[in-house]
Structure 1
Amino acid sequence: MSTTSRASRGLAVAAGLAAAVTGLALLPTTPASAASTGLVISEAYGGGGNSGATYTHDFIELYNPTSAAISVDGMSVQYRSSGSAAAATGVTTLSGSVPAGGHYLVQEAQGSGGSTPLPTPNATGTIAMSGTAFTVWLASGTTALNPAADGSTTRPGIVDLVGVNSNTFETAKTAGTGNATSVSRTAADSDDNATDFTVGAPNPENGDTVPPAGEPTEATIAEIQGTGDTSPLAGRDVVTEGVVTAAYPTGGFNGFYLQSGGSGGSGGDGADATPGASDAVYVFGSAATAQVAVGDSVRVEGTVTEFNGLTEIGSPTVTALASPLPAVAPHTGSVPAAADREAHEGELWTPTDDVTVTNTYSTNQYAEIGLAAGDHPLIQPTDVADAQDHAAIAAVEADNADRGVVLDDGSSINFLPSGGGGNQDIPLPWLSKANPIRVGAAVHFTGPVVLDWRNSTWKLQPTHQVTDSGADVATFENTRTENAAPGDLGGDLRLATFNVLNYFNTTGVAYDAAHPGACTYYDDRDGNHVTDRDCGATGPRGAAEDDDLQRQRAKIVAAINELGASIVSLEEIENSVALGEPDRDDALASLVDALNAAAGAGTWAFVPSPAPEDLPPVAEQDVIRTAFIYRPATVTPVGGSEVLTGAPAFSNAREPLAQAFKAAGAPDRDAFAVVVNHFKSKGSGTPNPDGQGNANADRVAQAEALWPFAERFAADRGTDEVFLTGDFNSYTQEDPLQVLYAHGYTNLASTTSPGEATYSFGGLSGSLDHVLANDAAAAMVTGVDVWQINAEESVAFEYSRHNYNATDFYEPNQFRASDHDPEVVGLDLPETGPVPSTVDAEDVTVVFSKEAPRIPVTVTAGGLTPIGTVTLLDGARELTSGQLSGGSAVLELPKKSLKRGTYTFTVSYAGDSGVAPGADQVTVRVTNPAGH
C-alpha cells in the first residue's frame, strides 16, 4: 500500500479463529465501511505508570498524514479489553485539530510508577489501559461503539482501529506489549495491524511536533533531504527546483518524484556531488501531480514533512521553469546496500547487475515483487546456519538486508476482494499465465525505477503506474520451463514427499449442511465461497464447494502423476475419521481414485490405515494426517502400516506413520522402511529466541520420539534402511533436525541444483520438507531433486484464488498445486537374484487297482509365491507334471500305472523369473487290496 493511503478499511474479529496448518496464510477480511477522515492511530501505550515503565500515563496518539489540518471536534478514542466482545468500556472525547503531518496526543490513566510525564497532551482521559493486550479505536462520534458485537467486520463510525494481541483487529493483530513498550505505526495504513505496527519503546508526540510554517526557504533538494533519516527542514516551507523523474496521477500515490537537474549516474569523475544526501524528494499532492509529466523541469514550493520515514514536500505549488534543467541520469550497477539507501532516497536507478525474484506472496494483492540483488533469492538464516550460531545467523540476516528490495507497481491498489471499491475487477499488472514471475527467476530492467521508502520497506517504483505486463520496466525469466518435470535422478525407482495443502474431500459447504453455522469462508470477487476460513477445530480446512475441490484435485493429481515416483508420502490430507466419518481413509481413497482416473486403472494404490485399536483415540487425532500412496507395478508394501502411539510429544501434531516397502517381486528381506512426519507448526506455541518460530521445543521433543520409533519399526520389519520423510516444520539447520542428525540421519539435499528449497516465507527461501536417511538407506540414493513447482509461484495460481481478479490465473496443471515443493529421491535397489525355493512333496500310500497315486506338492520361496511347473521324475524319465497355483499343485498318476511295491521318485520345480529351481524326494507305496 502507498504511504499516502488515507483510509482505514478492514476490521477482523478473531474470536475462536484457529489456523493450525503449516504455511497456510489467512486471507484479509472483507473491508469495513469506516468513516474515513485521513486520521490514523499512530501509537498506543498501556504500560504507563506500571512497574518498569518510564512514562507515568497511558496514551493513544493520532497522526495526520495529509497536507491540511483535520478537526477532531466531536470525535473520540475508545478502548476495551483484549478478550471482550462488548461495547467500549472507555471513551475519551477529543477537540481541536491535528496539524498537517502532525500528531495529537491523548493522555489516559496514570499508574503508580514511572518517572517521566508525557509531553503536553492535546486531550486527557481516564482510561486505564492494559499493559499487554487491548483494542483501541478512533471514532467519528462519542457514543461507545462495539466493533465485534455480532462478529461483523463492518461497523460505521470507526475511523481506525488497532488490536494489540487482541480478539479484534484490522486483518491481523499486533504482538503484545509490556510496561516498557508500545505499538507504533511504522507503515502507512494498509489495514493490517500486524504489518503497520511494531512493538518498541514508546515515543509520544503531540500537536507541537510540526512547527508552524514560516517564510519559504530556498533550498536544494539535497539540503531538504539532509544526511540523516529525517529532513533538517521538516515543518518548514521551502522552494526548490528539479526534474520530474516519476509521476503518479493515478493509482493512489497522488505525487511525483523530483530530482536535481544533472544529478545521478556516475558523474563525470564517478563522485557523488552531494555525498550522504539524496538529490531527490517526493512531492505529494494530486493537483500538483496533474500539472507535471516525466522530464519536466519545475519549481516547487511547499511544506517539508516526514510521512512514516519518507521525506515529502506537501501542499505544493508547481511552476514550470522557462529553461530546462540538465537531464537526470539513472544510477547503474547494483541496488545500494541497506546502509547506503537513505542517501539515495527517491533517486533514479537502472539496476544492471544480477537481480533475482525472492518473493511473490503479495504480487496478487498489491502487485509487489520481492527482489534480491545477486543471482539467488534471500535465504532463511536457519536453513544454512546452525540456529545456535548467532554470529552466522547475523551474517545471513545482514546479507538479506543488503540484498532485499521490493519492485512495486506505482500504485496503492489492493487487488484482492478485501481491497474493496471494485479493485478486484482491475486486471492485475505484471503477472500472467505466460509471465508467472517465480522466486528464483532472473530480472532484467528495461527502464529506470525510483528508490522509494514506503510501508517501512525500500522499494523500486516504476516511473509511472504499471497497468500491464510492465515490460517497459522489467522482464522476468520464465523458470517454469526448467521445472516441467523433476530432474534425472537415476536408480530403479523414486521416493517422494508432498504436502498437499489441506486436501479435504469434505467441502466446507457439505460440512456446514450437516453442522449448520459451523463454517465461515473466503469468497471470490462475486461473493462465491472458495475456501474454508474456519469450520471449527474438528471441521474441514480445504475447498469450500465441489467446483473448488475439483480445481484443487486437478492440480494435485497433475503434480503427483508427473513426479515419476513409486512411493509418495503425503502430508495435510484429510483424516476422515476425525470429521466423524467411519472410514479413516475416505479422502485418501478419493485422491487415489482421481489419480487412477488420470493415469489408468490400478496405477496407484494407498497404504491402509492401521486398525482402530492400533491408532490414538479419535479425539486425539488431528483433522489432517499423513499417508502413503504407491505404484503396485513397481513396489509392494511389506507388512502393515504403523502409527506411533502413546507419545505425549505428539499431542499437538500428527503422529509419525511408518510402512516398509520392497520392489515388486523382491523378497521381504530387501524391504526398506519409510516414516512420514508432520511436526508441530511454527504458527503457535511458545516463541523461540533463536529465530526458529513458535513451538520449537515441541518439535525437538517430537524428533526425540521419532528416531527410536523408526529404529524399532525397521527392526520389526527386518531391515536396516530407514528413510524419514515429510513436513518437519523445521528448517535444515534448526534444533529438531539437529536431533536426527545426531542419531545418524543425513538430510538429502538436491543433487540436481544445490541450494534448492521447498518453501518460501516472507521472501526467504528454506526447506521445511525433507527426506532424511540413515547410513544404510543413504547408500541406496542415486539423486535428489526439489521439484520447484509450488513455493516459487504466486498464490494467484492456486485453486484458492480462483476468480479473485479480473484475470483468470487458474490452470489445471502442477504449478501452485500446494505451497510446499515436493522432494524426490532416486533409489538404487539391491540386485536380487532368484530366491531359493523349497519343494515339499508329500509321501503317499495307495491301494493297487482302487486308487490313483496323487502327490500333493508345495513350493515356497521367502515372501514370494512361486509359479511355473513341477514334474514327477523316475530317474530321468518324466512321469507327469502340473502347474503351480498359489504355490501348490497335485501330481497324479493313472490308476494301475504302478505295480505293488515302494517307489522313490523326484519332484522337480523348474523355477520362474524370481524363484530358483528346487527338488524333493517322494515315496509312493502301492499295496494289495484288503484280503489279497
Structure 2
Amino acid sequence: MSPRAVRGPAAVTAVVASALAAGLLAAPQSASAAEVRIHDIQGSTRISPFAGTQVSEVPGTVTAVRAFGSSRGFWLQDQRPDRDRATSEAIFVFTGSKTPSVAVGDAVRVSGTVSEYYPGGADAGLQSVTELTKATWTVESSGNELPAAFPLKPATVPDRYAPDAGGGSIEGLRLRPNSYALDRYESLEGMRVSVEDAPVVGATTPYNELWVTAEPGHARTARGGALYSSYRDPNSGRVKVASLIPFAQRPFPVADVGDALTGTTAGPLDYDNFGGYEIQATTLGALEDGNLPRETTRAQKADELSIATYNVENLSPKTAQAKFDRLASGLVHNLATPDIVALEEVQDDNGATNDAVTSAGATLKKLTDAIKAAGGPAYEWRQIDPADDQDGGQPGGNIRVAFLFNPERVSFTDVAGGDATTPVRVTDKDGEAALSASPGRIDPGNPVWKDSRKPLVGQFSFRGRPVFVIANHFNSKGGDQGLDSRFQPPARGSETQRTGQAQAVNAFVKKLLAVDAQARVVVAGDLNDYQFSPALADLTAGGVLTDLVTGMRKDERYGYVYNGNSQVLDHILTSRALRRPDYDIVHINAEFADQSSDHDPQVVRLKP
C-alpha cells in the first residue's frame, strides 16, 4: 500500500469555476435522489456537471476500500450503467483519515458534495478526480456480486493518446473513449478494470508501485520495456499498478522490466500525481520472473580509448557504503574499467547539509577507493567546486560533474586557472586547439546555467593524441506538464533552458573546431532530454557532433525508465574526427527494482 496515496480535503477549485463561467461545463443542477446516478455525476467530460453541489441517495455497490493513509474512502460503482460510453459508472467516496464503515459487496446509498480533486494542486496541470466528499451513507444489503471489470487490452485502448487542444485544456471536451487513450481511462474513472498477463514495463518502486502495459505488442524494447521514441507516441497502454491488498496477506511483487503479472490484475481505476492512471488492485496477478540479466560491455583494446558517462544519483560521503561498492563494481565489471568517466550528481563532502561546504574530495575519494577495492585501477579525478547553492539539485548538495581517469592508460593535461566563475577559452597553439584552463567551466556566467550544473571541459592525452571531453548535466524536466496533463499537448517549459545550454556547448565545440577541424571532442552526460528533442537538435547543429544513440537499433535506444516509458536522457556525442565509435548503453539499473542509480551508464570506445 503506497504511502504516497495521501492528500488533504478535496475541494472544488478555481479551475472548475472558470470552466463554468466560460460555458465549457454545464451549470450545476439540483436533482432528487431518484434522478441522480453516478453516470449523471461523472458526466461526459472530465468535470462533473454537479461539481460543488450536494447530491443525495446515490446508489451503488462498494467495489474496493482504501483503509490506510490520509486518503481513505471507498469506490462505489453503479450496477445499472447507461448507454453512454463517455460516462463513468463509478466514483470515489473520500473519507479523509477515517476508515469507512463499509465492506466490499455492500449495496449503499451515499449523500455528499460532488468535488473535483486535482492531484498535486490545480497548478500542476494534471487532470482531476471526481469525488463525493463530506459523505454519509446507508447500507442496504451486503455480499452483492461485483460488476465485471472492464478489460484493458489492445482492442479497448486506442493508440492515439490524447486530443490536441493546441496546448489548452481538454476538460471541456466531450470524452471520445474509442479515439483517445486518456479519454478511455477518464471514462473508466473509479470503475473496476483489469489487465491479463500484463508485461511489466516499469520496475517496482520504493512506494510499492509498478507499471504494466495493456498493449503487449506495441513499441517494445529489446529487453521488454515500452520504448518512448517520439512525442507523438507516449505508449498509451501504460498503466500503473498499486495494491489495496494488505501486505501481510499478499506482499507487493518486486518486479523488474521483462517480468509479467500473469493471470488477472484488477481493481478500480484511480489517478494520482505520481504517474497518472493506476489500478488500485484488489486482485494481483502472479509474478512471472523474466530473469532479465544485468549487462556487461566488452573491454577496450589496447589502442581504444574508452569513455563512459554515469549519473551516480546524489552521491556523497553520507551515502551508504553499499552503494559505493555497487557503483564501483559496475564500473569495474559491467563497464570494463573505462579510461575516462564523466560523473554526474557528485555531491559535496557533507551531502545535503546546507552550509558553506562545496568541496567534493571526500566523495570522490570514497568512490575511487571502492573502485580499487573492487579490483579496478587507482583512478584520479578532476573537478571544479561550484559556488555554494548555485548549481541546483538537492538543496545543500552542490552537485557537480567530475572526471575520473585511469592514469595508467590516459593522462590529464592540467592547465591552471579554472574556477567556478571563470569561463574557459579555446586557444590556438601552433594550429592545435588548447584550453585556457583544464579543467575549466564553459560560459558559467551565461543565464542558461542559472540553478544548473555548468559543463566541465578537460584536455586528455591518449597515446600522444589530445582528446577534449566535456562533461554535462543539463537542467531537469521539473515543472513540465505531464504526458497525462489536462493541457494537450503538454507544455515542456524546462526545454527553453536546455536548448540554451545546448547552444552554449555547441558554440564551444565550434570554437575548438575553428582552430582545428580535426579536433577530437567527446560531449557526454545527463542531458535530461531525448534524442528527438529540440535541445539535441541544437547541440548537434551544423553537424559538429553526432549523437551516438541515433546509430543504435531503435529498440535499444534507452537508458532511463520513467512511468513505464524506456527513454533516452543520457548521451555521448563525438566530433567528426572520431570515426567508427563503438557505443554501448549498459543496462544495469533503470529496468531493475534494485538499483545503484536510476540511470544506466554508457560507454564509447574510440581510436583517436
- The answer, yes or no, to whether TM exceeds 0.5 is yes
Partner of 2:439: 643
Partner of 2:34: 217
Task: Give the paired residue count.
Answer: 505
Letter of the structure 1 residue corresponding to residue 130 of structure 2 = L
Partner of 1:705: 507
In structure 2, relative to structure 1, the CA distance for the partners of 1:461 and 1:730 (3 Å cut) is closer
Partner of 1:769: 570
Aligned counterparts of 1:247 and 1:587: Cα–Cα separation in 2: 47
Partner of 1:317: 138
Letter of the structure 2 residue corresponding to residue 628 of structure 1 = F
Partner of 1:556: 327
Partner of 2:264: 446
Task: Return 5+ residue gaps in structure 2 as ranges.
Answer: 118-128, 158-180, 392-397, 416-437, 482-489
Tell me which of 308, 314, 335 is aligned to 1:496: 308
Aligned counterparts of 2:494 and 2:7: Cα–Cα separation in 1: 36
Partner of 1:403: 237
Aligned counterparts of 2:92 and 2:108: Cα–Cα separation in 1: 13
The answer to which of 577-586 and 638-647 deviates more is 577-586
In structure 2, relative to structure 1, the CA distance for the partners of 1:441 and 1:695 (3 Å cut) is farther
Aligned counterparts of 1:647 and 1:315: Cα–Cα separation in 2: 62
Aligned counterparts of 1:684 and 1:325: Cα–Cα separation in 2: 46
Letter of the structure 2 residue corresponding to residue 364 of structure 1 = P
Residue 676 of structure 1: how far off its partner (Å): 2.9
Secondary structure of the corresponding residue to residue 345 of structure 1: coil
Give TM-score, length-normalised by structure 2.
0.66
Question: 2:345 matched to 1:572?
Answer: yes
Letter of the structure 1 residue corresponding to residue 374 of structure 2 = A
Residue 316 of structure 1: how far off its partner (Å): 1.5
Letter of the structure 2 residue corresponding to residue 332 of structure 1 = P
Letter of the structure 2 residue corresponding to residue 369 of structure 1 = L
Residue 438 of structure 1: how far off its partner (Å): 4.1
In structure 2, relative to structure 1, the CA distance for the partners of 1:627 and 1:707 (3 Å cut) is same
Partner of 2:125: none
Partner of 1:872: none
Partner of 1:364: 206
Aligned counterparts of 1:349 and 1:448: Cα–Cα separation in 2: 6
Partner of 1:915: none
Tell me which of 458, 463, 469 is aligned to 1:675: 469
Aligned counterparts of 1:453 and 1:685: Cα–Cα separation in 2: 19
Task: Return 5+ residue gaps in structure 1 as ranges.
Answer: 8-37, 44-181, 187-199, 264-271, 386-392, 414-425, 464-471, 506-542, 610-614, 795-814, 831-932
Secondary structure of the corresponding residue to residue 364 of structure 1: coil
Question: 2:264 matched to 1:462?
Answer: no
In structure 2, relative to structure 1, the CA distance for the partners of 1:276 and 1:489 (3 Å cut) is farther
Aligned counterparts of 2:194 and 2:552: Cα–Cα separation in 1: 35
Q: Spell out the pairing of 1:680-691 with structure 2 (5 A cutoff).
A: 680-682=474-476, 691=493
Letter of the structure 1 residue corresponding to residue 404 of structure 2 = I
Question: 2:255 matched to 1:437?
Answer: yes
Aligned counterparts of 1:682 and 1:573: Cα–Cα separation in 2: 16
Partner of 1:821: 600
Tell me which of 345, 356, 364 is aligned to 1:588: 364
Partner of 2:109: 300
Query: For 1:87-113, what per-residue CA distance to the aligned partner results, in whole angstroms no more than 9, with x for missing partners?
Result: xxxxxxxxxxxxxxxxxxxxxxxxxxx
Letter of the structure 1 residue corresponding to residue 137 of structure 2 = P
Give me the CA root mean square deviation: 4.9
Partner of 2:422: none
Letter of the structure 2 residue corresponding to residue 726 of structure 1 = G
Letter of the structure 2 residue corresponding to residue 706 of structure 1 = F
In structure 2, relative to structure 1, the CA distance for the partners of 1:627 and 1:42 (3 Å cut) is same
Secondary structure of the corresponding residue to residue 54 of structure 2: coil
Q: Spell out the pairing of 1:284-433 with structure 2 (5 A cutoff).
A: 290-294=101-105, 298=107, 300=109, 302-303=111-112, 305-308=114-117, 309-312=129-132, 314-320=135-141, 328-334=147-153, 336=157, 337-352=181-196, 355-358=199-202, 363-365=205-207, 367-375=208-216, 376=220, 384-385=229-230, 393=231, 395-396=232-233, 399-400=234-235, 402-410=236-244
Partner of 2:555: 754
Query: For 1:691-720, what per-residue CA distance to the aligned partner results, in whole angstroms no more than 9, with x for missing partners?
Result: 4435235403422333135547978xxx75
Residue 338 of structure 1: how far off its partner (Å): 1.6
Aligned counterparts of 1:676 and 1:691: Cα–Cα separation in 2: 25
In structure 2, relative to structure 1, the CA distance for the partners of 1:704 and 1:460 (3 Å cut) is same
In structure 2, relative to structure 1, the CA distance for the partners of 1:217 and 1:739 (3 Å cut) is closer
Secondary structure of the corresponding residue to residue 577 of structure 2: helix
In structure 2, relative to structure 1, the CA distance for the partners of 1:778 and 1:238 (3 Å cut) is farther
Contact 2:456–2:471 (Cα < 8 Å) also in 1: yes
Contact 1:658–1:710 (Cα < 8 Å) also in 2: no
Partner of 1:913: none
In structure 2, relative to structure 1, the CA distance for the partners of 1:650 and 1:788 (3 Å cut) is farther
Give TM-score, length-normalised by structure 1.
0.45
Letter of the structure 2 residue corresponding to residue 305 of structure 1 = V
Query: For 1:757-784, what per-residue CA distance to the aligned partner results, in whole angstroms no more than 9, with x for missing partners?
Result: 23345665533321112233241x23x3
Aligned counterparts of 2:35 and 2:356: Cα–Cα separation in 1: 75
Secondary structure of the corresponding residue to residue 788 of structure 1: coil
Aligned counterparts of 2:189 and 2:531: Cα–Cα separation in 1: 37
In structure 2, relative to structure 1, the CA distance for the partners of 1:203 and 1:406 (3 Å cut) is farther
Partner of 1:785: 584
Letter of the structure 1 residue corresponding to residue 338 of structure 2 = S
Aligned counterparts of 1:502 and 1:327: Cα–Cα separation in 2: 47
Aligned counterparts of 2:243 and 2:249: Cα–Cα separation in 1: 10
In structure 2, relative to structure 1, the CA distance for the partners of 1:710 and 1:625 (3 Å cut) is farther
Contact 1:305–1:312 (Cα < 8 Å) also in 2: yes
Query: For 1:605-634, what per-residue CA distance to the aligned partner results, in whole angstroms no more than 9, with x for missing partners?
Result: 22557xxxxx8998999654433334456x
In structure 2, relative to structure 1, the CA distance for the partners of 1:405 and 1:826 (3 Å cut) is same
Percent identity at matched positions?
A: 22
Contact 2:197–2:263 (Cα < 8 Å) also in 1: no
Contact 2:346–2:360 (Cα < 8 Å) also in 1: no
In structure 2, relative to structure 1, the CA distance for the partners of 1:281 and 1:767 (3 Å cut) is closer
Tell me which of 253, 264, 269 is aligned to 2:72: 253
Partner of 2:295: 485
In structure 2, relative to structure 1, the CA distance for the partners of 1:689 and 1:408 (3 Å cut) is closer
Partner of 2:57: 238
Contact 1:371–1:405 (Cα < 8 Å) also in 2: yes
Letter of the structure 1 residue corresponding to residue 536 of structure 2 = L
Aligned counterparts of 1:443 and 1:790: Cα–Cα separation in 2: 21
In structure 2, relative to structure 1, the CA distance for the partners of 1:580 and 1:714 (3 Å cut) is farther
Q: Spell out the pairing of 1:65-80 with structure 2 (5 A cutoff).
A: none
Residue 643 of structure 1: how far off its partner (Å): 2.7
Secondary structure of the corresponding residue to residue 446 of structure 1: strand
Aligned counterparts of 1:586 and 1:288: Cα–Cα separation in 2: 49
Letter of the structure 2 residue corresponding to residue 678 of structure 1 = N
In structure 2, relative to structure 1, the CA distance for the partners of 1:778 and 1:565 (3 Å cut) is farther
In structure 2, relative to structure 1, the CA distance for the partners of 1:5 and 1:211 (3 Å cut) is farther
Partner of 1:626: 401
Aligned counterparts of 2:443 and 2:477: Cα–Cα separation in 1: 22
Secondary structure of the corresponding residue to residue 352 of structure 1: strand
Contact 1:437–1:476 (Cα < 8 Å) also in 2: yes
Letter of the structure 2 residue corresponding to residue 550 of structure 1 = Q
Contact 2:295–2:588 (Cα < 8 Å) also in 1: no
Letter of the structure 1 residue corresponding to residue 312 of structure 2 = V
Aligned counterparts of 2:54 and 2:261: Cα–Cα separation in 1: 40
Aligned counterparts of 2:310 and 2:5: Cα–Cα separation in 1: 42
